[in-house]
Amino acid sequence: MLPSRLIPPPFDPGSVWLVGAGPGDPGLLTLHAAHALAQADIVLHDALVSEEILSLAPQAVLESVGKRAGGERTPQLRINQRLIQLARQGLKVVRLKGGDPLVFGRGGEEALALVAAGVPFRIVPGISAGIGGTASAGIPVTHRGLSRSVAFATGHDSSGDLSDIDWASLSRGVEVLVLYMAQRQTGAIAERLMAAGRAPDEAVALISDATTPRQSVAITTLAEAARAVTTAGAPLLIVIGPVVALRAMLVGLQQTEPMTLRAEARHQSRNS
């Protein structure tokens, strides 16, 4: 429930809200996101969105359109078509994505599809894992004297080809790199970064299940990252740079317990 002094915008039937669910902790949802979930008729959600967050949509049908790496995937075109179909039925449709819908979430593609179909929509930003997950791990992505620049990059695409990313320029151009979906390509990425001049002993953090009760953080080096990642959990966020050293100074007193919810029975849900 939203604070009584806040007046949320209307969620009109026949519209789609592209909503960021944040990195995992239900407490990191925005008020717009909580309002959308409470009003939705149907929620099309990613595989990584937690049951706790889904429980905040009490009247909605839940439809999984997840894309777990190495597992079953729902084609993006089918998701686009489904959003349009449901909106044209006069429903209040939420497309719920982990993190932020426009940061490696393909929300831009969905928004363009909705525009082409004449479907009204709203984009509800969420806290991206590269911001929220690193903060929860005690790693500021920027810090005076250590890091004045940070880049967010994906280590995975549908082809598995890394050549579309200029790793040499990234290596030389920014002090901190935050990699999403790079677990399978960690070794190849590390080799390219070291070949471009990054030090083999540069600190690397491997953050899994960020902001959840299962969060774990492993510290390694660029040269050892490929070996260390084999024992890390998933989903995995990789941070490379001098700010990783700050974790040792912050973690002892940092409070990271996520928000919890009372257990309530869920109702209707279905797979895509």
* Burial grade of 94 (CB within 10 A; 0-12, 13-18, 19 or more): buried
User: Is-catalytic flag, 46?
Assistant: yes
Residue 29 token pair: 């949802």
CA angle 107, 105, 3 (to 5 degrees): 75
What tens digit of pLDDT does each residue of 9-47 get?
999 999 999 999 999 999 999 999 999 999 999 999 999
Per the CB < 8 A criterion, the answer to whether 75 and 82 are in contact is no
Which of 254, 82, 264, 100 shows the shortest CA–CA distance to 180? 100
Please report, for the chain, how many H helices and E strands are present, in that order: 9, 11
Which of 208, 210, 174 shows the shortest CA–CA distance to 99? 210
Which of 177, 126, 187 shows the shortest CA–CA distance to 153? 177
Q: Where are the beta strands (DSSP E) in 68-168?
A: 92-97, 121-124, 150-154
Q: Which CATH superfamily is domain 130-250 in?
A: Tetrapyrrole methylase, C-terminal domain (3.30.950.10)
Q: What integer pLDDT is reported at residue 262 of this predicted model?
A: 77
Residue entry with tokens 């597992």: 71
For a pLDDT cut of 70, what percent of the chain falls above it?
91
Would you list the DSSP string of 177-197?
Answer: EEEES-GGGHHHHHHHHHHTT
* CATH code for the structural domain at 15-127: 3.40.1010.10
Catalytic residue among 46, 92, 100, 209: 46
Is the pLDDT at 270 greater than 70? The verdict is no
CA angle 213, 215, 217 (to 5 degrees): 155
Q: What integer pLDDT is reported at residue 237 of this predicted model?
A: 96
Residue 235 binned pLDDT confidence (cut-offs 50, 70, 90): confident
Is the pLDDT at 267 greater than 90? The verdict is no
Residue 256 token pair: 């990271």
With a CB cutoff of 8 Å and minimum separation 6, the contacts of 265 are none
User: Is-catalytic flag, 67?
Assistant: yes
What tens digit of pLDDT does each residue of 121-150 get?
999 999 999 999 999 999 999 999 999 999
Domain ranges (residues) in the chain: 15-127, 130-250
Per the document, the length of the chain is 272
DSSP 98: S
Catalytic residue among 25, 92, 100, 181: 181
At residue 244, what are phi and psi to the nearest 5 degrees?
-60, -30
Q: What integer pLDDT is reported at residue 128 of this predicted model?
A: 97
Which uninterrupted H or E stretch holds 84?
Answer: helix 76-88
CA dist., res. 22 & res. 27, Å (int): 9
| Mean per-residue pLDDT over the chain, rounded | 92
Count Cα neighbours of 152 within 13 Å in the Cβ-side half-sphere.
15
Tell me what the mean pLDDT of segment 105-116 comes to: 97
